[in-house]
Structure 1
Amino acid sequence: MVGPVLKMAGSTALRKAELVYERLKKLSCLPLEGVYVSSPENIHELLCTPSVIRLGVLEWLCTRAYPPLQKQFSTLKESEGEIKIKEMAKLGFELMLCHEGDVDLIKGLVPSSRQLFLMESLLNIIEMPRNISRVSGLECSSESVDEAFTNCAFENEKLLHEIFYSHQLQATLTPECNPWPADLQPLLLKKELPESAHQSDKNTIISQHLEELQKISTALHELKEECTFLCIPVPGSETVIQTLKLAMTDFHQLIAAFTQVYENEFQEHCNHPAPRLSPCGPLFQSVYCLLESCSQELKAVAQFTETSNTITEVVRKRQQIKESFGGGSTVTLYEKIKEIKHNYELFLSALQ
Structure 2
Amino acid sequence: MAATSKEHRLSQHVYATLQTLSCSLVEGLYLREADSMQELLCTPSQHRTDILAWICSSICPSLSKKLPSLRSKDPISLSQELAVFGQEMMLCRTDDLDLITGRACPLRQLWFLEQLLTLVPDSVDSSEDSRAGGEGLLKELFCPEALPHLTHALTPTLNPWPSDIRGARKGQRSLPSRPRGEEVAGVTALLESTLAALEQLHDQCVFLRGEEASPSRFSVCALRVAVSDLAQMMSVFSRVYDTDFRSYCSRDPPSLRSHTHIFSTVHRLLTACNTELEVLRQVSEVSVCLSDTVNEVHSDPCYWSHGHKHTLSTQLEHLTKRYTEFLSLHHGTDSKLPLTEP
Is the shorter-chain TM-score for this pair beyond 0.5, marking a shared fold?
Answer: no
**TM-score normalised to the size of structure 1?**
0.34
Q: Determine which structure has more spread, i.e. the larger CA radius of gyration.
A: 2
**TM-score normalised to the size of structure 2?**
0.35
